[in-house]
A and B are shown apart, each in its own frame.
Chain A
């Protein structure tokens, strides 16, 4: 696999590794932004339910896992600089997702689920088996595809249709991440339509 297969958008991130490592845990979206994205009107009307809170918390658990997976990948020393930049960007997206989900959960009266200790993620994701950059990218691609399918699978369960729309926006990010990672790994693009959620 060649790192040159990964392209950085012109408006790409400028974080270096030090900034990346220091950025963990920082909120990246304001409460106003969360309300705008989630739709404060529908939340204020109480159309969401505790069932929606549970679904959002499950999604938040996925985002915690994704953020930590990219963190572990970045700290591994296995990523080439250009690849690290993309990983930083994708981790940033997941941090924004985290803030959106946590904000929505709080607005619905719930408590956002906390992230687990890093060691638990590392064990569950079998990080010890990762030996090179391609292994890191394969793990990330698998998580992104899994998250995509998970979001698709929970959309019908939302009582608040506005939250289903939020999930659709999040899943678009996840599928974009998978596409980039799969391309970097040299994996073929899906030959048929509707490959996600199938």
Chain B
């Protein structure tokens, strides 16, 4: 009985994963703002291209399309559109998401990534 219950439970989880896809916890944009200031502003600004491209509007934008910024060929040729899933993977390990890109910075903790993404989404007006 226990074994059967477990099998049913696993099946429901499997179905949920198939139909809904990976779930992303809603981040805290306010905490994300603090994290952005401390970790991201070394290279990025919301409204100016610096070492990295400007971030306002990044959420929902196709990768490698900010005017006036010189991207790596890897990012320029990417078909990725930035959303919760892609930004989370990018911040966790950008090289794994887009091999050949130039950013080495990583955000290790999932909750930190979620908060930063929530902030970027808010500042993108999404």
Contacts and interface: CB of A to CB of B under 8 A. Distances in A.
Interface of A: 50-51, 54-55, 57-58, 61-62, 65, 123-126, 142-143, 145-150, 153-154, 156-158, 197-198
A124 B68 CA distance: 12
A55 B42 contact: no
A125 B43 CA distance: 11
A51 B104 CA distance: 8
Interface footprint category on B: 20 to 34
A55 B104 contact: yes
Interface of A is mostly: helix
Q: What 3 A-B pairs have minimum CB-CB distances, sorted nearest first?
A: A146-B42, A150-B42, A55-B104
6 contacts: A51-B95, A61-B51, A124-B45, A149-B39, A153-B104, A157-B105
A58 B41 contact: no
B43 A62 contact: yes
Contact of B38 (A50, A51, A149, A158): A149
A77 B50 CA distance: 25
B101 interface: yes
B10 interface: no
B123 to A, nearest CB: 17
A62 to B, nearest CB: 6
Interface string B42-57: 1101001111100000
A126 B47 CA distance: 10
Contacts of B80: none
Contacts of B107: 153
B106 A57 contact: no
A157 B104 contact: yes
B104 A124 contact: no
A150 B95 contact: no
A124 B95 contact: no
A147 B42 contact: yes
B104 A62 contact: no
B51 A65 contact: yes
Contacts of A147: 42
A56 to B, nearest CB: 9
